[in-house]
């Protein structure tokens, strides 16, 4: 979805994608979350655009119901993933294509907080994609204290304790026990 910067009123505008009119949003959800997304039409978002002159602030949140597999015990579980967004947008500087060394400037951390747009147009699909991808957790756990699987027999330690004895042969520090004797 493309929004012209000067179409954003000074009081701001809220965008709440609705299915099926906003197909771009549901395509984005499928692209970002893939097979983990239970159903794209269940994803919700509330996006706010505020404009001050040429500068735009994009804020909001996206919530998507996910069908995940625990990284410790491999059990499937469902979780709603909510990702907050906040981006500051400024117009891209137009240059003549020539490189001038004296025009180079050093960016500091505050400069990196801004994104740019060109042609006085915002592509919401692309602006929302980055915080979604960066906001995804790297690991998924069915519960914070998930015990995982037994490394010897493979039983799920959340359901029952296994009767396996610790295998010290795989431990590289097992040889240190012999030094103590």
Same domain, 112 and 174: no
Same domain for 115 and 173, yes or no, is no
Cα gap 60→136, rounded to integer Å: 16
CB 72 within 8 A of CB 157: no
Q: What is the sign, positive or negative, of the torsion defined by CA atoms of 23, 25, 31, 35?
A: negative
**Claim to verify: residue 31 and residue 9 sit in the same structural domain:** yes
CA angle 81-110-54, nearest 5°? 85
For strands 2-4 and 121-123, give the pairing: antiparallel
For residue 70, what pLDDT is reported?
93
H or E segment to which residue 49 belongs: strand 44-52
Per-residue pLDDT of the chain (181 residues; tens, 9 = 90+): 888 888 898 899 999 987 667 888 888 888 888 888 877 678 889 999 999 988 899 999 999 888 889 999 999 999 888 999 999 988 887 555 554 555 666 666 666 678 888 888 888 899 999 998 988 888 999 999 999 998 888 888 889 888 887 766 667 777 777 776 5
User: Total structural domains in the chain?
Assistant: 2
Q: Are 110 and 85 in the same domain? A: yes
Same-domain pairing of 159 and 77: no
Report whether 59 contacts 28 (CB < 8 A): no
The rounded distance, in Å, linking the Cα atoms of 2 and 122 is 5
Give CA–CA dist 89/124, Å, rounded: 12
Residues 58 and 11 in one domain: yes
Backbone angles phi and psi of 66, in degrees to 5: -115, 145
Are 62 and 31 contained in the same domain?
yes
Task: Count CB neighbours of 66 within 10 A.
Answer: 19
Domain that holds residue 158: 149-181
């Amino acid at each position: 979805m493309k929004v012209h910067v000067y179409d954003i009123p000074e009081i701001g505008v809220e965008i709440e994608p609705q299915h099926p009119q906003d197909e771009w949003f549901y395509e984005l959800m499928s692209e970002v979350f893939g097979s983990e997304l239970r159903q794209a039409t269940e994803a919700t978002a509330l996006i706010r655009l505020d404009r001050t002159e040429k500068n735009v602030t994009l804020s909001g949140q996206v919530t998507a119901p996910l069908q995940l597999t625990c990284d410790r015990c491999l059990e499937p579980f469902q979780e709603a993933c909510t990702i907050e967004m906040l981006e500051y947008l400024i117009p891209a500087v137009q240059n003549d294509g020539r490189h001038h060394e004296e025009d180079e400037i050093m960016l500091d951390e505050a400069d990196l907080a801004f994104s740019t747009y060109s042609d006085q147009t915002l592509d919401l699909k692309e602006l929302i994609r980055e915080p979604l991808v960066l906001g995804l957790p790297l690991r998924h756990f069915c519960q914070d204290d998930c015990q995982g699987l037994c490394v010897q027999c493979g039983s799920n330690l959340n359901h029952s304790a296994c009767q396996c004895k610790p295998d010290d042969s795989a431990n590289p520090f097992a040889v240190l026990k012999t030094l103590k004797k």
